[in-house]
Structure 1
Amino acid sequence: MALHFITGAGSGIGEALASRLVDRGDDLVLLARSEDRARELRERFPGTTTVVADLAEPERIAETLSGQELPERLDSLIHVAGVVELGRVDELSVASWAWQLGVNLIGPAELTRILLPALRSASGQVVFVNSGAGLRTSPEWSAYAASKHGLKALADGLRAEEAAHGVRVSSIFPGRTATPMQAQVHEQEGRPYDPSAFIDPESVVTGILTMLDLPRDAQVTELMMRPGI
């Protein structure tokens, strides 16, 4: 029975992933940004463990987690949580840049650092749920895309560093996916939202599980997904 640590399990891809893993009998540790959110996650996924830390405050993650029980062995760490705020470079505030870089990049880097001993003990795997914006960008997407381009760099560097420890590192780059974040993006863009036009979160989860379940003689380093035709 595998043990997975997941961020962003409260909705969208993260919730779908947690459901699939629970259904197949795996154990979960779920990161919540508050005690109230942790309680909601335990109610949604009975029998799972929760820990509390806010990715938006990466400088406090280590201190916050130090008083909580973390696993000594971990089969996977899956970074799903993310935030987005669109805006032109000449309009976005420093606070918006800091928030998106904190949650999408610096927080995952710090959480990975903290959990690496447990991942090394199990020859585990780190999966970064990136975005098409991690490979290219468009007007008003600069801050979000910068955080996701950075996340790709983090994954590539980590993969090279951790190969000697037997830790696999994978990135998945979904195109637009039918999640609450996508609905929020459409609201910011001022466009109507039709979830049927985009990738189902379950399809992204299938890609993640393929990465996790691949035999140890290989690894999927990058997987790109786009909405179907």
Structure 2
Amino acid sequence: MPPTRAQDQPTAVVTGASRGIGARIAAALGDSHRLVLGGRGSPALTRLARELPDAQAWPVNLADPRALHVPPGIERLDALIHNAGVLATGRIDECDGGLWRRTFEVNVFAVVELTRLLLPALRKAGGHVVLINSTAGLQANAARGAYSASKYALRAFADSLRAEEPRLRVTTVFLGRVATDMQRDVCAVEGLRYQPERYLSPATVAETVRAVLAAPREACATELVLRPGATRGSD
């Protein structure tokens, strides 16, 4: 395993880091940050942590409130990147309260609790909280009511956090279609053919997050909407 770098490296926690967007964000920050990679314990998470210069795997089940805790060794935290999320599909008359609760458990409640637990470390560093959201948090979708509602709630949480913690930078990134396994599932629900070449790539999202974190301290991108460009299709 590569040697650990100087302790003055900024530290970032990335949730949902096992694959897709989260793994790409971790790779994009690997040269500039000490990383704590949150995700369900898996060989993919362990392998990614070993491949990056200074990273540790943090196996955690965000769907279980009792499992949430401050990752080992975190005293100052420069960046908290909430990327983990679950998709819920189905019309309102098809989705019972249990599905809504499970969706909010990961997409909202885990974000709120993990942020709360890490606030002392974020305050100490004057840190940056990045919330990976969806354009479903700007305009609700049919047959995805629970998912859309959770993303609206995530936006409200970001706005409240920004108002209550003026020393922190808080950024919401609203994503259109991204070429991920989740998008494949969305296409299946919509009866559409999955066309990854028409969507944003996870690498593009990761580079956007890296740029947001690297912005001068005097600036904060509070909200960004990232959609596929004209040459790739539309949201």
TM over 0.5, yes or no? yes
Counterparts of 1:39-118 in structure 2 under 5 Å?
A: 39-45=46-52, 47-57=54-64, 59-62=65-68, 65=69, 69-118=72-121
CA RMSD between the two structures:
1.7
**For residues 44 and 88 of structure 1, what CA distance do their matches in structure 2 show?**
42
Asked if 1:6 corresponds to 2:7, the answer is no
Determine what percentage of the aligned residue pairs are the same residue.
Answer: 42
Gaps of 5+ in 2: 1-8, 231-235
Query: Which of 6, 25, 31 is matched with 2:38 structurally?
Result: 31
| 8 Å CA contact retained: 1:31, 1:53 | yes
| 8 Å CA contact retained: 1:61, 1:110 | no
1:127 is aligned to 130
2:223 is aligned to 222
Range with greater deviation from structure 2 (186-195 or 211-220)? 186-195
Q: State the Cα distance separating 1:48 from its structure 2 match.
A: 1.2
Report the CA distance shift for 1:32/1:138 in structure 2 as closer, same or farther (over 3 A): closer
Q: State the Cα distance separating 1:131 from its structure 2 match.
A: 0.5
**For residues 114 and 146 of structure 2, what CA distance do their matches in structure 1 show?**
21
**For residues 73 and 5 of structure 1, what CA distance do their matches in structure 2 show?**
11
Query: Which of 148, 166, 171 is matched with 2:151 structurally?
Result: 148
Report the CA distance shift for 1:198/1:112 in structure 2 as closer, same or farther (over 3 A): same
Tell me the alpha carbon deviations over residues 85-141 of structure 1, each in whole angstroms, 9 at most, x when there is no partner.
Answer: 210000013222112111111101100001111111111100000000011112111
Q: TM-score, normalised to structure 2's length?
A: 0.88
| 8 Å CA contact retained: 1:74, 1:124 | yes
1:196 is aligned to 197
Q: State the Cα distance separating 1:47 from its structure 2 match.
A: 4.0
Q: State the Cα distance separating 1:46 from its structure 2 match.
A: 6.2
Partner secondary structure for residue 94 of structure 2: coil
Gaps of 5+ in 1: none
2:24 is aligned to 16
Report the CA distance shift for 1:198/1:168 in structure 2 as closer, same or farther (over 3 A): same
Higher normalized helix content (fraction of residues): 1
Q: TM-score, normalised to structure 1's length?
A: 0.90
Q: State the Cα distance separating 1:36 from its structure 2 match.
A: 5.6
Give the aligned residue type for 2:29: L
Counterparts of 1:136-215 in structure 2 under 5 Å?
A: 136-163=139-166, 166-215=167-216
Give the aligned residue type for 1:8: G
| 8 Å CA contact retained: 2:28, 2:210 | no
**For residues 171 and 107 of structure 1, what CA distance do their matches in structure 2 show?**
16
